[in-house]
């Protein structure tokens, strides 16, 4: 059995850790570029962290113009600002979009490469600047992945995958997630469960380490997501969700995601559906589609989430899909494409775009055609 497994070398999981960010990063950078969005600023989530940077004597530059599904123009602008302000390190503070933007800034701030030149796998040529990531949602797992997804100038989801995108330090502070509203908690939590499920069933690179992480991630997430939605101040549930999201991130960074994500991306591009919500919308139909091939693996995951554990693989697989559907419904998440503005006449274009995302589709346990994509979208219209 041959496999490789990579992850972030240093992880700090500590409620309240953001308030000592300056102490954590001061040996690595003196003029950090802090990358976030205006929502994080408005919510006051970053105040303690910024104060700690000042206390540590760090003269930071704040870039707070990150947009969802980071557009290439915004990322290029952020790189230019970081260079102008002579930043020597990068701190990503926020959801997946802020962390994805921060990763690319760290890779290009001291490099002659353009953004377009690093799209793809292992295209980053130079060593990056020091990089520290702090998630404010329990979902993307971006703090421990080597992946950044950027929306190109022609509205395509472009992946940057390289070892340089692994941060030096991931700081996980569950207190930062307490203010997440229900619609963000449920969508990002389901996103994390998708990472765990797709990592566990990934066709090409699943391995014993990613499998173990994916199963524990799904156990934590499935057993805490409803509590986190119903009791937003339940710090134990929030910690378990954050830990689960991180473990799922470690899993799928090594055993890549598949059809759910491929189908989700066009929803973000064409309708600006948040990534987590797009994944949650496409999860159930893809599970049903894959079940004929992935039944043994789904049966194993059913044991993890407390689905019916008796009968043959097919019976247990059906129980797993039913239980996942039940958990998602209990969070109150939207489950129809029409609820997010998608109409029937655009489904062929969505299907065409999804089918082209070969880097993800090739990981799916069952081959997916463009016609299959159309049927899957239609199922949840």
State the residue range of the domain holding 302.
182-379
Domain CATH code at residue 27: 3.40.50.1970
In a domain, 2, yes or no: no
DSSP state of 166: S
List all residues 6 or more positions away from 372 whose beta carbon is below 8 Å from its beta carbon.
Answer: 289
Q: Are residues 286 and 145 in the same domain?
A: no
Domain count, the chain: 2
Q: Are residues 40 and 134 in the same domain?
A: yes
| Per-residue model confidence (pLDDT) at position 328 | 96
List all residues 6 or more positions away from 177 whose beta carbon is below 8 Å from its beta carbon.
Answer: 135, 136, 137, 138, 185, 238, 241, 242
Using an 8 Å Cβ cutoff, are 184 and 209 in contact? no
Which residue has tokens 């994390």?
192
pTM here is 0.97
Using an 8 Å Cβ cutoff, are 133 and 143 in contact? yes
Last residue of a domain, one of 142, 177, 212: 177
| Per-residue model confidence (pLDDT) at position 343 | 94
Q: Are residues 196 and 75 in the same domain?
A: no
Strand segments, DSSP code E, in the chain are 10-13, 32-35, 61-63, 89-94, 120-121, 131-135, 147-151, 157-161, 169-172
Of 214, 283, 272, the residue nearest 248 (C-alpha): 214
Q: Are residues 51 and 142 in the same domain?
A: yes
Q: Are residues 264 and 292 in the same domain?
A: yes
| Per-residue model confidence (pLDDT) at position 217 | 98
List all residues 6 or more positions away from 311 whose beta carbon is below 8 Å from its beta carbon.
Answer: 319
In a domain, 3, yes or no: no
Q: Are residues 69 and 186 in the same domain?
A: no
Q: Are residues 290 and 320 in the same domain?
A: yes
In a domain, 236, yes or no: yes
pLDDT by 10s per residue, the chain, length 381: 899 999 999 999 999 999 999 999 999 999 999 999 999 999 999 999 999 999 999 999 999 999 999 999 999 999 999 999 999 999 999 999 999 999 999 999 999 999 999 999 999 999 999 999 999 999 999 999 999 999 999 988 899 999 999 999 999 999 999 999 999 999 999 999 999 999 999 999 999 999 999 999 999 999 999 999 999 999 999 999 999 999 999 999 999 999 999 999 999 989 999 999 999 999 999 999 999 999 999 999 999 999 977 899 999 999 999 999 999 999 999 999 999 999 999 999 999 999 999 999 999 999 999 999 999 999 999
Q: Are residues 119 and 230 in the same domain?
A: no
């Amino acid at each position: 059995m041959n496999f490789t497994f990579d992850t972030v070398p240093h992880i700090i999981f500590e409620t309240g850790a953001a308030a000592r960010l300056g102490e954590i990063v001061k040996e690595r950078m003196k003029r950090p570029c802090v990358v976030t969005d205006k929502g994080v600023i408005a919510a006051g989530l970053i105040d303690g962290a910024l104060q700690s940077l000042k206390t540590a004597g760090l003269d930071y530059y704040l870039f707070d113009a990150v947009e969802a599904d980071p557009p290439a123009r915004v990322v290029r602008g952020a790189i230019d600002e970081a260079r102008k302000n002579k930043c020597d390190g990068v701190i990503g503070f926020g959801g997946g979009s802020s962390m994805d933007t921060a990763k690319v800034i760290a890779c290009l701030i001291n490099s002659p490469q353009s953004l377009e030149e690093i799209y793809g796998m292992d295209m980053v040529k130079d060593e990056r600047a020091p990089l520290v990531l702090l998630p404010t949602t329990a979902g993307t797992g971006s703090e421990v992945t080597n992946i950044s997804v950027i929306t190109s100038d022609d509205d395509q989801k472009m992946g940057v995958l390289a070892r340089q995108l692994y941060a030096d330090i991931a700081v996980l502070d569950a207190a930062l997630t307490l203010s997440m509203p229900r619609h963000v908690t449920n969508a990002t939590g389901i996103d994390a469960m998708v990472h765990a499920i797709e990592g566990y069933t990934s066709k090409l690179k699943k391995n014993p380490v990613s499998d173990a992480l994916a199963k524990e991630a799904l156990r934590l997430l499935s057993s805490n997501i409803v509590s986190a939605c119903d009791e937003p101040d339940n710090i134990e549930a929030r910690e378990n969700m954050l830990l689960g999201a991180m473990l799922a991130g470690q899993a799928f960074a090594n055993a890549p995601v598949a059809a759910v994500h491929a189908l989700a991306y066009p929803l973000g591009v064409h309708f600006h559906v948040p990534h987590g919500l797009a994944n949650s919308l496409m999860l159930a139909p893809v599970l049903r589609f894959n079940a004929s091939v992935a039944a043994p693996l789904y049966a194993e995951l059913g044991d993890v989430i407390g689905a019916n554990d008796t009968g043959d693989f097919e019976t247990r697989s059906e129980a797993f899909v039913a239980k996942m559907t039940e958990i998602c419904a209990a969070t109150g998440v939207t489950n129809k494409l029409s609820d997010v503005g998608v109409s029937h006449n655009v489904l062929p274009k969505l299907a065409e775009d999804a089918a082209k995302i070969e880097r993800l589709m090739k990981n799916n346990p069952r081959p997916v055609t463009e016609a299959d994509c159309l049927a899957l979208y239609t199922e949840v219209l």
